[in-house]
Structure 1
């Protein structure tokens, strides 16, 4: 299964209905749309708003995504939690529901020692038989996880058992440092949303986990990179980077992707569970439209 965990695996947006419940019909349409754009699998993670779901709702979302996925590619389920007990429970539920891998972050509200973090991870890894992706989510929250510790995780659990999604800057240099520290064995996903993809791909990542809204651009860029077409990759990378750089923080990223999914007819409504720290105003919307058109023009030359 580990060899299937590669390529373009977008993190789904969680649609909510007018009662603020998970809209399973809209979710299924979103996942169909993603596969129409040739993704290799799907992910449930932080930008799926899992931090604003109850534990039972997170399990409901796991089951809904796995059902809607219909075996078309691997499903990676985020199980990060402040409590080791909760993270372990979510991981076991994800595997029992048919997930192909789980992804875990360090506790976000508590600064723990490296020994405590290792114990937290070990308690999850030992309870599941599927691969575990360790996400350093410090691009959004928390403290960066050292290269040394990430390399130690790969050594301790094995490169096929424990994969990495580093996000701390400078990302490209971190990818190279981790690969050097693991003798090239680490299997690493880009976690930049596409901003650093040109750089991280050339350094040796195995895949990327962007948002769902611009997956058509990330897919085109990934294909260009794998085919050695650096000119096309740069042509897509420049407007993609400009577009994503307009969005501040986790709430900004969620607001932006839901706005774009609604504009593309994928989701019926951009509802986000509150409280939220960022909303798109008229000026931001106008600039997003200009940048999005530049990106569409660049992708028009991507290989099919």
Structure 2
């Protein structure tokens, strides 16, 4: 039976040692942190710096993650690549590692039309038996995927294809995709939780935020599921304030690693360079202040 990941699915940061190799102990610590605080699954995605890893490292990261999770929650791994051949190979490796789903951005260096993109995503779906999350990562890079393309993929493959729309405007495009698939598509929120409340009301299956405040996102998700609006209103503001400081791929990486180090989850905030964003002292201070506000509003400890 196909597993469709749902709920709070944090995108794991790839921790590195000071010499730039994957810190396997910190990776396991982070996965335990996410599961202990109620995550329903974990994800390897863009914020995991997968595009800065070699092919062998991406396969190793998937192996390590599936091994650490040990079937307790779902695992979704990123397999997007510049060629269909490489993406299919990565998808096969992820499925062999025990992943429950894969996620793929489209090629970035090629201005693919809808027919080429349909062929790319179709090849992924047909190469494995687990679902493929179609990630419209145009909030970070590239061009938005058309609603027509996504609806065509759903019509062809049903819930073997899942969706993570990140193109602006988030809410209206999410609703347009659901309308185009008669409300049946499984869709994830992908703005770090910034649009979670609005997206939940529109009908999402899950959210893929960062791992650093997973405890807050799990509590917010549960409150939304229970229509506990007092808790929603208490948490939404501090979460939004903190996430709004993260407006690029590298800023998500920097802030999330900073907060994971602060909480003793990983040992170093090192990212692989070159990077387009450096967390300066003043911004780090504001991140810490907003984290304290959020912790006062809803930290379980």
Q: What is the TM-score of this pair, normalised by structure 2?
A: 0.97
Matches within 5 A, 1:176-255: 176-255=175-254
SS in 1 for 2:127: coil
Matches of 2:169 and 2:130 in 1, distance apart? 30
Matches within 5 A, 1:12-51: 12-51=12-51
Structure 1 residue 54: Cα displacement: 0.6
Structure 1 residue 2: Cα displacement: 4.4
Q: Deviations over 1:142-169 (max 9, x none)?
A: 11111221111111111x2001000112
Matches of 1:200 and 1:295 in 2, distance apart? 21
1:287 aligns with 2:271: no
Structure 1 residue 3: Cα displacement: 4.9
1:278 aligns with 2:270: no
1:7 aligns with 2:7: yes
Inter-CA distance 261–49: structure 2 relative to 1 (3 Å threshold) = same
Matches within 5 A, 1:251-270: 251-270=250-269
What stretches of structure 2 of length at least 5 have no aligned partner? none
Matches of 2:246 and 2:165 in 1, distance apart? 20
Matches of 2:298 and 2:54 in 1, distance apart? 38
Matches of 1:147 and 1:264 in 2, distance apart? 40
Structure 1 residue 231: Cα displacement: 2.5
Q: Are the aligned partners of 1:95 and 1:128 in contact in 2 as well (CA < 8 Å)?
A: yes
Q: How many residues align?
A: 301
Matches of 1:124 and 1:4 in 2, distance apart? 16
Matches of 1:34 and 1:4 in 2, distance apart? 19
SS in 2 for 1:63: helix
Q: Are the aligned partners of 2:11 and 2:43 in contact in 1 as well (CA < 8 Å)?
A: yes
1:104 aligns with 2:87: no
Structure 1 residue 289: Cα displacement: 1.3
Q: Are the aligned partners of 1:198 and 1:234 in contact in 2 as well (CA < 8 Å)?
A: no
Q: What is the TM-score of this pair, normalised by structure 1?
A: 0.96
Root-mean-square deviation over aligned CA pairs: 1.3
Matches of 1:142 and 1:241 in 2, distance apart? 25
Matches of 1:69 and 1:216 in 2, distance apart? 18
Q: Are the aligned partners of 1:131 and 1:161 in contact in 2 as well (CA < 8 Å)?
A: yes
Paired position in structure 1 for 2:84: 84
SS in 2 for 1:126: helix
Structure 1 residue 259: Cα displacement: 0.4
Q: Are the aligned partners of 1:14 and 1:22 in contact in 2 as well (CA < 8 Å)?
A: yes
